[in-house]
Amino acid sequence: MTSNQLRHLSKVFQTFTEKQFSSSVSKFQLPDLPYDYGELEPYISAEIMRLHHQKHHQTYVNNLNAALEKIHKAEEAGNVGDMIALQKMLKFNGGGHVNHSILWHNLAPVNKGGGTRPDGAFLKAVEKEFGSLDALISSLSTTAIGVEGSGWGWLGLDPNSKKLKLEQCQNQDPLSTKNLIPLLGVDVWEHSYYLQYKNDRATYVKNVWNVVNWKDVASRYEKAIA
């Protein structure tokens, strides 16, 4: 074999290997709900839970995967301009996937801990920051109800100061965009409540506390301060 033939063969082999073992694009999946659609009733209807999970969250997952595929193709083509243009689609849908994946665990049926008040280190931190659990509930309710348009109210942890903080996020912006670790999210996009509560966002937020899974929130807190 001549050196040219060897060089050509090396190139063919290299391309073949790259095609087989190049970084594959992530394919995210809709996580299962940890309970049945009807188990958060009467506070959140089965119909809302089904649509919220099977339609809205599924769409975020599908569009996240599509965005990643497009970004990957643009990257392969060396088209950085296109990669940048796709960041919006990534943020909307990736954020939607992150946020809702947390939400399903932030909630629980009443007979599986929903509404049961927390204790331990997390409760101590809440009392230190807000005075009482009820004060936190009141403040986070106000924060969530006051979101203009579509968005979320969050209880988060500042990883630097280790303090609990409340924040609003627009659209599906993940709480990481505010440099906080998400602990508990209150979704106030109209799709979260409209079929049951219509424009009465305040009553929806008031009722949601009956199904907040404080154990999950506390466990996120403990992970975040570790």
Partner 1 sequence: MSKFALPALPYDYSALEPHIDTMTMNVHHKGHHQTYVNNLNGAIQGEHGGQFKGLSIENIQRNAVKAPDAIKATVRNNGGGHFNHSLFWTLMAPTGSANSAPHGDLKQALETEFGSVDEFKTRFNAAAAGRFGSGWAWLCMDRSGKLFICSTPNQDNPLMEGISEHVGIPILGLDVWEHAYYLKYQNRRPEYIAAWWNVVNWDKVVENYSHAKQQKTPVFDVPLA
The answer to whether 216 is a known ligand-binding residue is no
User: Which among 66-74, 97-105, 168-176, 205-213 is the span making contact with partner 1, rule CB under 8 A?
Assistant: 168-176
DSSP assignment, residue 32? P
Residue 202 binds partner 1, judged by CB under 8 A? no
Residue 167, phi then psi, degrees to nearest 5: -150, 160
Q: Please state the separation of Cα 187 from the chain's center in Å.
A: 10
Query: Binding residue per annotation — 56?
Result: no
User: Contact with partner 1 (CB under 8 A): which of 30, 51, 90, 145?
Assistant: 51
- Measured in whole angstroms, how far is the alpha carbon of residue 188 from the centre of its chain? 13
Query: Measuring CA to CA, how many Å separate 8 from each of 2, 18, 34, 69?
Result: 10, 15, 55, 30
- Min dist. Cβ of residue 20 to partner 1 (A): 37
Binding track, positions 120-149, relative to partner 1; x by CB under 8 A: ----------------------------xx
CA angle at 121 for the pair 118 and 123, rounded to the nearest 5°: 40
Pick the piece of the chain touching partner 1 (CB under 8 A) from 15-23, 107-115, 137-145, 164-172: 164-172
- C-beta closer to partner 1: residue 32 or 148: 148
Is 133:215 a contact under the CB 8 Å cutoff?
no
